[in-house]
Amino acid sequence: MAKRRPRLIVYHVGVTLLTLISVGTVLLLLMGWGNATVEMTIINSLLVVFAIDYVTRLVLTRNRKIFLVQSAFDLLGIIPLHPVFAFFRLGRLVRLIRYHHLFWRLRINSKWTRAYHQFIYKTGFIYLFSFSVTIIVISAFLFSLTEKQSLASALWWAITTATTVGYGDETPHTAFGKIIASVLMIGGVGFIGLLTSTISGFFTARGQQMAASQEDHEQADLDQLLAKIETLSTKVDDLQRQLEATTRQKKE
């Protein structure tokens, strides 16, 4: 284990650097800075690297079910429909930070990481999000084939359709394309609706927990204040009795 540890750290550092390079390159491409041809070459090359890395880890892992759940964002990060999917690779960095306990080592409060874990896994967000993206991606790919559209345009159509925005700039014209649209409308809207309710439910529950915690804290402060007031009243009464006793002694 001691021999593998340095290799693991080098591997994780390499993954971090490649992730930052891929995300930075996509940002440059989206903002129109630099040479688009060179940027697309870098993006496609890193896509192949991350795809090989994902397949290798999937083959070597002992529990593929847990791996598929925990690495859902990694799978989304190797979807070749659009370079913007590279942003999902940032989820890998969050897991690496938690794996090496960097927040604890830097003495940073870990409440954020616990909240992130509860939101992603315990609420089922990762499952709903993965299903929603899968439906959108498959629909976009099939729409691109049947309607002879670019993958970027097909993805834009799938997103606007699934979210019920429907700008109308991209519409199906073939019978098969209309079937795809119908399936996306039923399945995609249902999963996205569940996704939205999961997000709102999580934040509502968190708000109620924070409010209840604040009320308990305020009640504890109030009880402590009342106890101090009672102690102070007792001392004042004792002082008054001593003063009265001293006054009587002087009179005598």
10-residue mean pLDDT profile of the chain (252 residues): values are 69 93 92 90 94 93 84 86 86 80 64 69 76 84 89 87 82 90 84 80 76 75 81 79 73 62
Per the document, the length of the chain is 252
Integer Cα distance of 217 and 73 in angstroms: 38
For the segment(s) 124-232, the CATH number from 2.60.40.10, 3.30.70.20, 1.10.287.70, 2.40.30.10 is: 1.10.287.70
Strand, coil or helix: what is 33? coil
Helix (H) or strand (E) holding 90: helix 90-99
Instruction: Please work out, in degrees rounded to the nearest 5, the angle formed at the alpha carbon of residue 16 by the alpha carbons of 15 and 21.
Output: 95
The pTM score is: 0.63
Nearest by Cα to 43 from 81, 86, 73, 72: 86
Average pLDDT across the chain, whole number: 82
CA atoms within 13 A on the CB side of 192: 18
Distance of CA 126 to the CA centre of its chain: 8
Question: By the 8 A CB rule, do 134 and 192 touch?
Answer: no
Integer Cα distance of 135 and 189 in angstroms: 10
Q: Please state the domain extents for the chain.
A: 1-108, 124-232
